[in-house]
């Protein structure tokens, strides 16, 4: 924060102006709401993500130059608890910190709160750890994409919370950097995240479950290419503001997989930063090899692959722009006889369920938006689909109970009142 902005914020606070604004290049105001609770020292609520069977990452934001620790335990009141060492928030990441919890027990409900040094603890929230790979526990999760600030409050988050998922997957367009005020500087990208995080339904959902995240184009610019000079800034802000586990040897890596019990392995793709048009690759060679090998090696009944852009739907920005690599992935799945592969994606701003032509063992579920314009032009895509809806905001929910035989996953697509728009069962083969 530079001195002039700090002075501006001080004046804004003294005059009771709760939400100061910057003017973006488009002329629209970008909210730079930047308040810290004087009792807790926190700004916004902590968010938990990248949960595994034995760990999780807690994201928190606290007063500049403070340190934040996480108190956690299995007791809802935290009367018996553990405390992580305090971690200083970093000015270079907008006073945020990521605190790793480790040594957790699988398939267990944990409660936690952030504690800023010398301040009152923040509110207690909770999340569940993943079951171990041999655990036949029922797993239920929700997923969707597209949260645009001007559509706040994101009321669909309350519907997702009411569905009580074990975790939630945001499939990208977590902000719209180029809508409703265009972010060009890092501070403006950060402000976009703060604005979306400062949303009551989102805060309620994020206090009850953990998240997995991938990014799409609007974290930078609509359908941007890697040459876009804002790509690195947009990626930094995304990494600063979400609870992503960072690999010290590959700090910008976003793609990874996580196992949830006997039934499920979730593959989270990065469809943006490794694009190589000259070689027709969306994933880049390293990520593609990783995906093919991990799919082959997975012993989970269902392998759910989260791709921010859909396999079909037209446009060079989607998999239709990379047909050879898409064909290679499908042919690998067929040749290796990999059962239970389901693709989930967003981006099209409508919901649909379809089988992949010539690869009927692979389903594609397109979901969203949660809070962004609906795609009124998408009607043409409804052909050859078993389900299509571009009338309401929506999210998907998958439930799999490995104890049921023969194995099948239940898929529901729901609206923002938890009304069921579509329900079906998916067999692994």
Residues that bind Fe ion (CB under 5 A): 146, 173
Least Å from the CB of residue 256 to Fe ion: 22
Residue placing its CB nearer to Fe ion in the complex, 253 or 318: 318
Residue placing its CB nearer to Fe ion in the complex, 173 or 240: 173
Residue placing its CB nearer to Fe ion in the complex, 170 or 253: 170
Least Å from the CB of residue 253 to Fe ion: 23
Residue placing its CB nearer to Fe ion in the complex, 223 or 361: 223
Task: Please list the residues that pair with 21 across neighbouring strands.
Answer: 31
Alpha-carbon distance of 421 to 415, in angstroms, equals 7
Residue placing its CB nearer to Fe ion in the complex, 173 or 270: 173
Least Å from the CB of residue 179 to Fe ion: 9
Q: Closest by alpha carbon to 171, among 302, 322, 344?
A: 344
Alpha-carbon distance of 238 to 246, in angstroms, equals 12
Task: Please list the residues that pair with 234 across neighbouring strands.
Answer: none
Scanning the structure block, which residue is given the tokens 């606290």? 62
Q: Closest by alpha carbon to 176, among 121, 101, 131, 238?
A: 238
Within 10 A of 265 (CB to CB), how many other CB atoms are there?
Answer: 22
Q: Is residue 412 a contact partner of residue 393, using CB atoms and an 8 Å limit?
A: no
Residue placing its CB nearer to Fe ion in the complex, 266 or 370: 370
Least Å from the CB of residue 216 to Fe ion: 7
End-to-end CA distance of the chain: 54
* Closest residue to Fe ion in the complex (CB): 173
Least Å from the CB of residue 372 to Fe ion: 5
Beta strands at 302-306 and 264-268: parallel, antiparallel or unpaired: parallel
Enclosing H/E stretch for 266: strand 264-268
Residue 292, judged by CB atoms within 10 A of its CB (0-12, 13-18, 19+), counts as middle
Least Å from the CB of residue 320 to Fe ion: 17
């Amino acid at each position: 924060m530079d001195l002039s902005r700090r002075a501006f914020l001080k004046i804004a606070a003294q005059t009771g102006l709760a939400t100061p604004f910057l003017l973006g290049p488009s002329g629209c105001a970008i909210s730079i709401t930047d308040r810290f609770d004087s009792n807790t020292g926190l700004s916004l609520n902590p968010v938990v993500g990248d949960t595994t069977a034995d760990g999780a990452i807690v994201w928190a934001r606290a007063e500049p130059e403070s340190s934040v620790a996480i108190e956690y335990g299995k007791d809802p009141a935290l009367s018996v608890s553990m405390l992580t060492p305090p971690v200083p928030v970093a000015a270079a990441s907008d006073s945020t910190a990521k605190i790793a919890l480790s040594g957790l027990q699988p398939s267990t409900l944990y409660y936690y709160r952030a504690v800023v040094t010398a301040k009152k603890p923040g509110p207690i929230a909770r999340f569940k750890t993943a079951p171990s790979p041999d655990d036949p526990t029922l797993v239920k999760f929700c997923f969707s994409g597209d949260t645009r600030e001007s559509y706040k409050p994101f009321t669909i988050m309350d519907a997702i919370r009411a569905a009580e998922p074990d975790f939630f997957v945001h499939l990208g367009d977590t902000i719209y950097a180029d809508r409703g005020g265009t972010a060009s500087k890092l501070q403006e990208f950060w402000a976009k995240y703060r604005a979306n995080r400062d949303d009551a339904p989102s805060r309620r959902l994020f206090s009850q479950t953990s998240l997995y995240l991938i990014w799409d184009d609007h974290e930078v610019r609509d359908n941007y290419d890697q040459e876009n000079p804002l790509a690195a800034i947009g990626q930094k802000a995304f990494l600063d503001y979400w609870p992503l586990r960072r690999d010290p040897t590959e700090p910008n890596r976003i793609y990874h997989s996580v196992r949830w019990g006997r039934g499920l392995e979730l593959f989270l793709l990065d469809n943006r930063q490794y694009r190589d048009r000259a070689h027709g690759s969306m994933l880049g060679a390293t990520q593609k090899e990783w995906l093919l090998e991990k799919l082959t090696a997975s012993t989970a009944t269902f392998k759910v692959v989260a791709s921010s852009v859909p396999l079909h739907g037209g446009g060079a920005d989607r998999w239709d722009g990379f047909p050879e690599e898409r064909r290679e992935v499908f042919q690998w799945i067929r040749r290796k006889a990999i059962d239970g592969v389901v693709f989930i994606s967003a981006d099209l701003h409508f919901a649909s369920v379809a089988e992949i032509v010539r690869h009927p063992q692979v389903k594609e579920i397109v979901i969203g938006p949660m809070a962004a314009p609906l795609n009124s032009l998408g009607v043409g895509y409804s052909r050859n689909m078993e389900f299509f809806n571009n009338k309401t905001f929506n999210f998907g929910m998958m439930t799999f109970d490995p104890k049921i035989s023969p194995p099948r996953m239940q898929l529901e697509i729901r609206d923002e009142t938890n009304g069921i728009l579509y329900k079906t069962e998916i067999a692994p083969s």
